[in-house]
Amino acid sequence: MIKKIIIGLFCLSFTSVAQAVLKIDITEGFEGALPIAVIPFQWNGAAKVANGDISAIVMSDLARSGKFSPVAEKDLIARPQKLADVHYKTWRIAGMDHIVIGSVTRQADGNYQVEFRLIDILKAKQVLGYSFSATDKTLRGVAHQISDYIFTHITGLPGAFSTRIAYVTLKRDKTSYSARLQVSDTDGYNPQTLLTSDQPIMSPAWSPDGSELAYVSFESGQAEIFTHNILTGVRKSRSKFAGLNGSPAWSPDGKKLVMTLSKDGNPDIYVLNLSDNKLKRITDHWSIDTEAAWLPDGKSIVYTSSRSGKPQLYRQSVSANAKPERLTYEGGYNASASVSADGKSVAYVHGEGNIYRIAVLELATKSSRILTDGPLDESPVYAPNNSMILFASQEKNQAVLAAVSVDGRQKQRLSFTDGEVREPSWAPVRH
Amino acid sequence: MKKILFISVLALSIAACGERIKPDDEMAGDTNDTANVDASGGATAGGIYTGGGIGGTALEGGKLVSYEKNAIDDPNNVLHEKVVYFEFDSNSVSDDYVELVKHHGKYLSFNTSASVRLEGHADERGTREYNVALAEKRAQAVKQLMLYEGAGNDQITIISYGEEKPVAFGHDDESMSLNRRVEIVYQ
């Protein structure tokens, strides 16, 4: 067997080759979204940069969050460029709560000065205003930061637009197989390849500081867990026991990885201490125990176990001799938990008959609700601000990523231009 | 050491074995039974022939049963079949495949220099990591049966791919039943 792998160095530049760009289509909107008008920014001393159209990026981010309904550019009733140009009464009559104005000015050194102002129409004043310095390469990043400021100011939630997502893409047919581990902005732009392999790549998981990914690669002819620094490209083999090496997830303090190993006979859950490579066994059962996710306190995990005969979710402390507590009872297949950042809820795959959908379980009440339609939805992961859940879905025989708001009312599809895309992982909010 | 030993096994239960090429497409499957090591449908009687060069022709479901070194490459030999299919969410070797797995186990016991890699697979339903674990348990069940037949532990390695490497790309029941499998790959 010939194995080809290419390890990529992640460089923070969107001039690098962007072969396959994610395209996001909003498939279902909802009526409670807040009206906002983002006026096209004025460009001074330079033509608009194609990949850095700040106001268009902000508009797209806000729409994607499900919490805003930005006015289409062609429907704008006015295009004020300065605060003094804003006619509050006109906007009030138009039913607008907020408007965003701004400018991009080319400096003598070739860089850009980006300014934006968020205006509250009811209060009739500016409520937020910032100025940034940017280069050709950082314009998109600045736009996502502006989206975060606006989102946070209005909703009170941390913004997650300037974080990143990781996912696995696959191109295959009867004779060839090419898997890639990719990282992109949360809107799918700027995709960069961290690893290319002719063997499967699975289960990417971000470190809590967003600098590293843990994942499973079969490149050596067996399952092996690696950690990979996305900035330096340096990676380390963390687990290569006989049998399974799967489902890695970083502890909230970044010091440990929980994982599934079968070296002692059956798939069980272990915690690896990264500083001294000490392994601690958490479960010991003849059935399948896997897909562990940490609760934010770092003291317990939620995992999938088939100890009742069918896969169900359990919660268990990672301390010695802890007893598992069964969390799910409805339906014959409940697996692949993702815990929200506040630790209050768990997104998971709920299978009933041949239909697999994303559901959310409230840990306090043990009540659950189904958010998606299936039929083959999997790999749910919370956005770091808990506002939505990203998941993998099957649509018209095409593997796509999709997002659903936690109330289930807003759905979006992130379609990929080329090949299959799966197993999303959303980087934490930058601190 | 050159082993000049020709062994053939005649299976008494032809009916149980003749249909095994077609995977069972039944969807329901319980996991409460573990690896089925009881060959309920296929009692075997063995005849050992030591006459060098004289080919015994034991037949099973129209196929030759013998464990000569090159038997695994003979399209007319039972050992030519190297895929074991499973029911949904089950890691039990079904009655239809117990005999096949035993033949491969016996082959390994008589050809101690041979080795296999058991590649476990699952269909696309359910979650990816659970499927990797499930497919490994399938391969473990096949290995266990082979060990009962005298295969050596060090002759068998296991890798589980879960749902990552399907052979059928459709989303229909037939495609999925073809993907729930353990492939016996001689090294």
B81: Cβ contacts below 8 Å, ≥ 6 apart: B20, B21, B100
Alpha helices in A52-138 (DSSP H): 54-64, 88-93
DSSP for A133-182 reads: EE-TTTHHHHHHHHHHHHHHHHHSSPP-TTSEEEEEEEEE-SS-EEEEEE
Window B:24-83, CB contacts with A under 8 Å? 27, 30-32, 34
State both tokens at A69.
């309904």
Q: Does the beta carbon of A304 lie under 8 angstroms from any beta carbon of chain B?
A: yes
pLDDT given at position A65: 79
pLDDT given at position B113: 96
B1 within domain boundaries? no
Give the gap in angstroms from C-alpha A26 to the nearest C-alpha of chain B: 25
Check whether B21 has a pLDDT greater than 80: no
Check whether A224 has a pLDDT greater than 70: yes
Helices B95-110, B128-148: crossing angle, 10 deg rounding:
60
Q: What is the CATH number of the domain that holds B39?
A: 3.30.1330.60
Window A:56-95, CB contacts with B under 8 Å? none
Query: Is A344:A354 a contact under the CB 8 Å cutoff?
Result: no
- Give the best residue of A1, A177, A259, A262 to mutate against chain B (max B CB count within 10 A): A262
Window A:136-195, CB contacts with B under 8 Å? 177
Q: Which fold has domain A5-14+163-426?
A: Neuraminidase (2.120.10)
Alpha helices in chain B (DSSP H): 14-18, 95-110, 128-148, 173-179
Check whether B16 has a pLDDT greater than 70: no
CA distance A410 to B49: 72
For A69, the 3-state DSSP assignment is strand
Provide the mean pLDDT of chain A: 89
Residues of A in contact with B158 (CB under 8 A): 243
pLDDT per residue as tens digits for the range B81-127: 999 999 999 999 999 999 999 999 999 999 999 999 999 999 999 99
- Which residue has better confidence, A47 or A257? A257
pLDDT given at position A188: 80
- Give the best residue of B164, B169, B174 to mutate against chain A (max A CB count within 10 A): B164
Tell me whether residue A322 is exposed, middle or buried, using C-beta atoms within 10 angstroms of its C-beta: 0 to 12, 13 to 18, 19 or more. Answer: middle
Give the gap in angstroms from C-alpha A350 to the nearest C-alpha of chain B: 9
Question: What pLDDT band is residue B51 in, cutting at 50, 70 and 90?
Answer: very low
ipTM of the complex: 0.87
| Residue length of chain B | 187
Residues of B in contact with A397 (CB under 8 A): 171
DSSP for A305-342 reads: E-TTSS-EEEEEESSTTPPPEE---SSSEEEEEEE-TT
- Give the best residue of B27, B119, B129 to mutate against chain A (max A CB count within 10 A): B129
Give the gap in angstroms from C-alpha B70 to the nearest C-alpha of chain A: 22
Q: Give, in order, the Cα–Cα distances in Å from A77 to each of A72, A80, B70.
A: 10, 10, 82
Residue A265: closest CA among chain B residues belongs to which residue? Answer: B140
Domain ranges of chain A: 5-14+163-426, 32-155
The CATH classification number of A32-155 equals: 3.40.50.10070
Say yes or no for a CB contact (<8 Å) between B130 and A221: no
Range(s) of the domain holding residue B125: 6-186
Say yes or no for a CB contact (<8 Å) between A246 and B31: no
Window B:111-130, CB contacts with A under 8 Å? 124-130
Give the gap in angstroms from C-alpha B164 to the nearest C-alpha of chain A: 6
- Scored b (16 or more CB within 10 A) or e, A125-154 reads eeebeeebebebbbbbbbbbbbbbbbbeeb
Amino acid at A355: I
Residues of A in contact with B89 (CB under 8 A): 310-311, 333
Rounded mean pLDDT of A360-367?
Answer: 96
Residues of A in contact with B32 (CB under 8 A): 309
Give, in degrees to the nearest 5, the angle at Cα B97 between B95 and B98.
70
Residues of A in contact with B162 (CB under 8 A): 202
pLDDT per residue as tens digits for the range A123-165: 999 999 999 999 988 999 999 999 999 999 999 988 889 999 9
Residues of B in contact with A288 (CB under 8 A): 130, 133-134, 137
A109: Cβ contacts below 8 Å, ≥ 6 apart: none
CA distance B67 to A198: 35
B38 within domain boundaries? yes
Amino acid at B138: R
CA A117 to chain centre: 28
Domain count, chain B: 1
pTM given for the model: 0.83
Residue A168: closest CA among chain B residues belongs to which residue? Answer: B164
Phi-psi region of A43 (alpha: psi -120 to 50; beta: other; left: phi over 0): beta
pLDDT per residue as tens digits for the range A250-305: 999 999 999 999 999 999 999 999 999 999 999 999 999 999 999 999 999 999 99
Q: A with B: how many residue pairs have Cβ under 8 Å apart?
A: 95
Check whether A227 has a pLDDT greater than 90: yes
Alpha helices in B14-63 (DSSP H): 14-18
Least confident window among A102-106, A354-358, A416-420: A416-420
Query: Is B93:B137 a contact under the CB 8 Å cutoff?
Result: no
Question: 3-state DSSP helix/strand/coil percent for chain A, to nearest 5?
Answer: 10, 45, 45
A200: Cβ contacts below 8 Å, ≥ 6 apart: A179, A216, A217, A218, B161, B164, B165
